[in-house]
Amino acid sequence: MKLIVGLGNPDKEYQNTRHNFGWLVVDALAEKKQLKWTKHQTGHSLTTDFNLGREKIILAKPLTYMNNSGQAVSSLQQFFKISKTELVVVYDDIDLPFGKIRISTNRSAGGHNGLESIINHLKSKDFKRIRLGIGPQTGAAEDFVLKKFNSSEKRKLSEIIDTSHLILETILEKGFDWAANKYN
């Protein structure tokens, strides 16, 4: 079993903002697979799932705000009894240029409050990440991440989301190291 979490903020006003890039990726994957989201019994997330061969893949979108993402991720990880190494977090990264995607594991939060919350709640950095570039930053970081994608970025979103799905599929089918060698 694997848990794939897309980070974002739950309110409608944050839809299609840079900080909700993780949500956009898992939403698009759920739509592609014709899955329906339901509120998980832990109360902190929307979840859906599918099978890949014999393995169950759980997609999740925390309903906590970004800065409290760890609460939702930790409760799901404990509920499903999933190893931290079977967790993949998809999120925006202000330090990467827009369109760049990097996969990594066992790194610091790099100033990302949602990731910091997850690391603190799990008491571990040992989980996989798909980092979606949203840089370069203009203005204050807090304002920049909460702005909607500009028109030039919007034109590239579907291609970036499709690439993210390929990366996820590669991680699920061939393993993290294989995906890292191919996509980084």
Strand partners, 45: 62
User: Which residue among the candidates 19, 40, 44, 112 is catalytic per the annotation?
Assistant: 19
Distance from CA of residue 87 to its chain's centroid?
10
CB 134 within 8 A of CB 18: yes
Residue 86's CB: how many other CB atoms inside 10 A?
A: 18
Annotated active-site residue 19? The verdict is yes
- The residues assigned a catalytic role are 19
